[in-house]
């Protein structure tokens, strides 16, 4: 199986190609250094699960270790997804006024960067398009890959729009409307903002690259499993935002201050009595340690940690059961199980 170290070695090659391309278009000394700086800060520092999933899906489809050529093609696709992820995170951190990401300051908070980070997010998406063209423009599935990235990007941006406008609403004066925090809305946000690009896109890329038949690529079990897995992943993320120590999580959780429509607050509203709902209304979406502490105390009072563990066990059981039926889809069960194993009971 392709290792993280091998995957990172390909990143260095792609990074150097992009820097050379940029410097060739604008042959000024700062172009190369600026490009290198925002790539190094934003692209390779995560868990890389999305990118590696492309390689592992292709390996599962082939039923053997990949050849050098196959590993490179899958690796380029994997890094294209990591580039896409980086562009989303750079923009998302600005929109959420986040402080840290992956144990370091968010890119826009780096001295001398600021709102230049917006253009850097655009550049990251332009770069991934160039990577795809350079590697795959001669392949019969090239247009399919471009359409896949374009569709998933569209779904993700729609999810981000819903996330940003759920609460507080524009013109509301910062008032949090808890009535909008429903499980239906939460699942719509999660499905579009996270699950499509984090889970469905990597597996579909591996299947398309491997020449899987259309019946497998388009089988309804594929999105059913992967979008459910994406929901589970985001619920984990919401739980860790409130309960994981920042030094373990790699960032300071801000869902409470940012009035995010998170799984925890939706569950809290379902369980809360009248007095507890008033407490949420008084503290949720307010900045200040005392407000965050009050909300977390309410989460403990409503036993949300226990609720999450119950949800996690039930989700794992449901996913395991669905994956057991994968033989009928034409997609190897290993393409699903290796992804589930990466995220089940993760700590960050």
Q: What is the CATH number of the domain that holds 158?
A: 1.10.600.10
Give the list of residues 6+ apart from residue 309 with CB closer than 8 angstroms, or none: none
284 and 345 co-located in one domain: yes
151 and 251 co-located in one domain: yes
Average pLDDT, the chain: 92
pLDDT at 296: 95
119 and 169 co-located in one domain: no
Give the list of residues 6+ apart from residue 279 with CB closer than 8 angstroms, or none: 294, 298
Per the structure, the complete domain to which residue 65 belongs is given by 1-138
pLDDT at 172: 62
218 and 91 co-located in one domain: no
pLDDT at 275: 95
Last residue of a domain, one of 104, 138, 172: 138
pLDDT at 43: 97
pLDDT at 188: 97
pLDDT at 215: 87
* Count helices and strands in the chain by DSSP H and E runs: 16, 2
95 and 220 co-located in one domain: no
pLDDT at 165: 86
147 and 113 co-located in one domain: no
Looking at the DSSP assignment, which residues form a beta bridge with residue 104?
A: 101
Tell me the pLDDT tens digit for each residue of 266-311: 999 999 999 999 999 999 998 899 999 999 999 999 999 999 999 9
How far is residue 98's CA from residue 95's CA, in Å, rounded to a whole number? 8
How far is residue 45's CA from residue 290's CA, in Å, rounded to a whole number? 32
133 and 245 co-located in one domain: no
pLDDT at 223: 95
pLDDT averages per 10-residue partition of the chain, 348 residues: 84 96 93 96 92 95 93 97 97 89 93 96 97 96 96 96 79 77 96 96 96 89 95 95 82 85 96 95 92 95 96 96 87 91 87
pLDDT at 328: 80
DSSP assignments along 317-330, one per residue: HHHHHHHTTGGGGT
pLDDT at 2: 63
Q: What is the dihedral of CA 26, 29, 31, 33, to 10 degrees?
A: 160
146 and 192 co-located in one domain: yes
Q: Buried (b) or exposed (e) across 157-190, using 16+ Cβ within 10 A?
A: eebbebbbebbbeeeeeeebebeebeeebbbbbb
132 and 226 co-located in one domain: no
51 and 96 co-located in one domain: yes
Measured in whole angstroms, how far is the alpha carbon of residue 204 from the centre of its chain? 16
Number of domains in the chain: 2
249 and 146 co-located in one domain: yes
130 and 151 co-located in one domain: no
Q: Establish how many alpha carbons lie within 13 A of residue 333's alpha carbon, considering only the half-sphere containing its beta carbon.
A: 10
């Amino acid at each position: 199986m392709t290792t993280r170290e091998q995957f990172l070695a390909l990143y260095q090659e792609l990074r150097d190609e992009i820097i050379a391309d940029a410097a060739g278009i604008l042959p000024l000394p700062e172009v190369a250094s600026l490009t290198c700086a925002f790539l190094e800060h934003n692209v390779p520092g995560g868990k890389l699960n999305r990118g590696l999933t492309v390689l592992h899906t292709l390996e599962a489809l082939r039923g053997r270790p990949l050849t050098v050529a196959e590993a490179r093609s899958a690796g380029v696709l994997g890094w294209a997804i990591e580039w896409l992820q980086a562009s989303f995170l750079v923009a998302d951190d600005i929109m959420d006024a986040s402080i840290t990401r992956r144990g370091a300051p968010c890119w826009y908070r780096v001295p001398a960067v600021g709102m230049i980070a917006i253009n850097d997010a655009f550049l990251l998406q332009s770069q991934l398009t160039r990577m795809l063209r350079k590697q795959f423009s001669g392949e019969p599935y090239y247009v399919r890959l471009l359409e896949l990235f374009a569709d998933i990007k569209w779904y993700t941006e729609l999810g981000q729009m819903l996330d940003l406008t759920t609460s507080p609403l524009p013109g509301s004066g910062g008032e949090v409307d808890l009535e909008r925090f429903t499980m239906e809305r939460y699942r719509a946000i999660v499905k579009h903002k996270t699950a499509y690009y984090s889970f469905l896109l990597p597996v579909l890329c591996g299947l398309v690259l491997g020449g899987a038949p259309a019946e497998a690529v388009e089988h309804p079990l594929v999105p059913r499993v992967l979008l459910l897995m994406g929901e589970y992943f985001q619920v984990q993320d919401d739980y860790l935002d409130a309960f994981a120590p920042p030094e373990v999580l790699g960032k300071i959780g801000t869902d409470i201050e940012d009035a995010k429509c998170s799984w925890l607050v939706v569950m809290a509203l379902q369980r809360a009595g009248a007095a507890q709902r008033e407490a949420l209304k008084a503290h949720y979406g307010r900045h200040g340690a005392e407000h965050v502490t009050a909300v977390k105390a309410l989460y403990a009072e409503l036993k949300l940690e226990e609720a999450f563990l119950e949800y996690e066990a039930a989700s794992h059981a449901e996913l395991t059961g669905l994956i057991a039926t994968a033989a009928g889809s034409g997609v190897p069960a290993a393409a699903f199980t290796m992804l589930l194993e990466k995220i089940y009971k993760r700590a960050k």
